[in-house]
Chain A
Amino acid sequence: MSIVFYIVAALAVGGALAAVLLKNTVHCALALTIAFAGIALLFLQLDAQFAGFAQILVYIGAVAILVVFAILLTRGSETPKDGVYGRKWPLGLVIAAAVFSDLAWAVLQSARVLPHEAISAPTVTVLQIGNALIGRYVLPLEIIALLLTAALIGAVIVAMHEKEAGK
């Protein structure tokens, strides 16, 4: 594997670790942005340009800002007095370690069934993606449209100020 892959993977994993371990919540959100950028670069390495740019546009351009706004609106930047980790944090760590070891064992064991030879990079044009969206995947497209509308209206209603009774 090339050196570029190792650097980008280190960026993504480092950002994720920082996002989970840091004490200051806003620093966690910014480290999450670095993790997203690392994952977008990994997508670009896998010749999935549309997915990579969509990842940057949606995650860094929208989700990260959403997280940051939520931290600001909930006074998350003040350090809590009881520490930043929950009461039962060793149990959470053990569970995560167990999940990782399980997944890694599954991946390493299946080395003989995974393809070995390098497949040539597929050239995916946006035209093909557009045709696929309107052709074969039109039903998921319409359902996603409904889902996003419902999420939009729902998020606004959930977070809206409630009018006091009698006003």
Chain B
Amino acid sequence: MIDKPIVDQLDQVFILLERWIVSFLPAGWQAVASVVLNVVAIIAVFPALFAIAVLLERKGLGRMQNRLGPNRVGPFGLFQPIADGLKSLTKEDIVPISADPVVHFLAPVFLVVVVFMGYAVLPMGRNMTLVKMDAGLLFYFAMGASTELSVFMAGWSSRNKYSLLGAMRAVAQMISYEVPLLMSSVAVVMITGSLSLEKIVAAQNQYSYGLPHWYIFTPWGFAGFALFAVAATAETNRSPFDLPEGESELVAGYFTEYSGFKFAEFFLGEYVGMLSISGLGATLFLGGWSAPLAILGWVPSWIWFFGKVMLSICVFIWLRGTLPRLRQDQLMNFAWKFVLPLTLLNLMVAAMWRFLGEGWERWVICSAVLLIAYVAMGRIGMRHGHIGTRKYRYAE
């Protein structure tokens, strides 16, 4: 069998590395240095994952659309992110003459700052959380809510009709899908009994018959994960909810007037946000850093976490390549009339799950309730029987 201490050391390798580096400094500086080292690690790792995700997206989308992705730069196009980075850094920075210079400059900076703050509470491995907060999930959602303001700042400061339209659509979409995002997470909080992300992962890190207690393997968890995934796709403005930034719709939506490095900042912010919310989904529903089978517990915990995050990114790319775009009113209808009622019902089903006690009855009852609700709302509730001439409403 594999030597246990070596397995544990591999699991905690980053913690041990950090302690070793910090031990060289005098005692007064050690706390500050440890925090700075952790922050630098996050700022280094996640943009690297961003580069991998961008490459994966371009190659993956290309293959799904029956073409090769970029394949000129480096073997199989592997150095494409470097070429992209160099291009964005050296492009001329054009600011429209009627744009608001201060707000125009601050919008991408604000986005990047706020998006990186969300990583402070994600447990990336055993004992590998930057800040262990009692209300960690609340902090994450507070940071997520602030991204909408940067989108609006970008759209308004460009003094461009299309940017403003894109920004208002994007903000309306993000606000609408924020409620289902929070509500589907509240079911997890209710069952775990804590807002702290470490406790949520610890509650899922148990195994019975070799299978884990991940929340996605319960009826309410599965429905919750599906609703969370839909809301997360809409929150990060990814296809099929990418009307605010679709190229065929609004040029580039709220970042039409951005060029060069500022566009790269927006791009970085969007993808890092996607990685962040995948990390949250993995923590809440997929067990965070815990292994899928009890016998695989020897693999380091951070490998499982990053594996789950990259798997979610692949699913995002898959969705983008497959589904057509939703129209704005279809998007909003979907949010308020389908996803939100289902999340509220999911909350009640999670409560039923908790109070029905162990046994097979709760599986049957909870699954039945959710299936009936889904079919009733999806098939019957979302039917639009009215087909005729379309009535237009103009903005004043």
Interface set of A (CB-CB < 8 Å, partner B) = 24, 26-27, 30, 33, 49-50, 53-54, 56-57, 60-62, 64-65, 68-69, 72, 77, 125-127, 161
Give B148-164 as 1s and 0s: 1 = Cβ < 8 Å from A's Cβ atoms. Answer: 11001100100000001
Question: Which A residues touch B376, using CB under 8 A?
Answer: none
Contacts of A60 in B (CB 8 A): 142, 145-146, 149
- Enumerate 8 A-B pairs (CB-CB under 8 Å) in ascending A order: A30-B103, A57-B142, A61-B144, A65-B149, A68-B152, A69-B168, A72-B168, A126-B195
Query: Which 6 pairs show the lowest CB-CB distances between chains A and B?
Result: A61-B145, A56-B142, A57-B142, A53-B138, A53-B142, A126-B195
B205 in contact (CB, < 8 A): no
- Range, interface on chain B: 20 to 34
> In the complex, are the beta carbons of A33 and B142 less than 8 A apart?
no
Tell whether, in the assembled complex, residue B141 and residue A57 are in contact, meaning their CB atoms are under 8 Å apart.
yes
- Are A49 and B141 in contact (CB-based, < 8 A)? no
Question: B336-369 interface mask toward A, CB cutoff 8 Å, 1 = contact, 0 = none?
Answer: 0000000000000000000000000000000000
CB-based nearest A residue for B155: A72
For the complex, is B36 an interface residue (Cβ under 8 Å from A)?
no
Complex CA gap A125/B136 in Å reads 11
A68 to B142, CA, bound (A): 18
Check if A125 sits within 8 Å of B134, measured CB to CB.
yes
Task: Considering the complex, give the chain A residue whose CB is closest to the CB of B102.
Answer: A27
Beyond the given A53-B138, A69-B168, please list 6 additional residue pairs across the A-B interface where CB-CB is below 8 A: A27-B103, A50-B135, A50-B138, A54-B142, A60-B145, A72-B168
Q: Is B175 an interface residue (CB 8 A)?
A: yes
Contact call A49/B135, Cβ cutoff below 8 A? yes
**What separation, in Å, do the CA atoms of A27 and B193 have in the docked complex?**
41
Q: Which residues 69-104 of B have a CB within 8 angstroms of A?
A: 100, 103
Question: For the complex, is B259 an interface residue (Cβ under 8 Å from A)?
Answer: no
B261 at the binding interface (Cβ < 8 Å): no
**Bound complex: CA A82 to CA B133 (Å):** 51
Q: In this complex, what residue of B is CB-closest to A33?
A: B149
Whether A53 pairs with B135 at a CB distance below 8 angstroms is yes
With A61-B142, A65-B149, A126-B194: A49-B133 Cβ-Cβ less than 8 Å = yes
Asked whether, in the complex, the Cβ of A56 is within 8 Å of the Cβ of B153, the reply is no
Nearest neighbor of B156 in chain A, beta-carbon distance: A26
B139 CB–A CB distance under 8 Å: yes
Chain B residues in 8 Å Cβ range of A49: 133-135
Within 8 A of A (CB), among B168-194: 168, 171, 175, 178, 193-194
Instruction: Please give me the residue from chain A that is nearest to B148 by CB atom.
Output: A65
Nearest-CB residue, chain B, relative to A24: B100
> Residue on B with the closest CB to A123?
B134
Give the chain A neighbours of B152 by CB distance below 8 A.
65, 68
Measured CA separation A65–B149 after assembly (Å): 7
Point out the residues of chain A lying under 8 angstroms from B133, CB to CB.
49
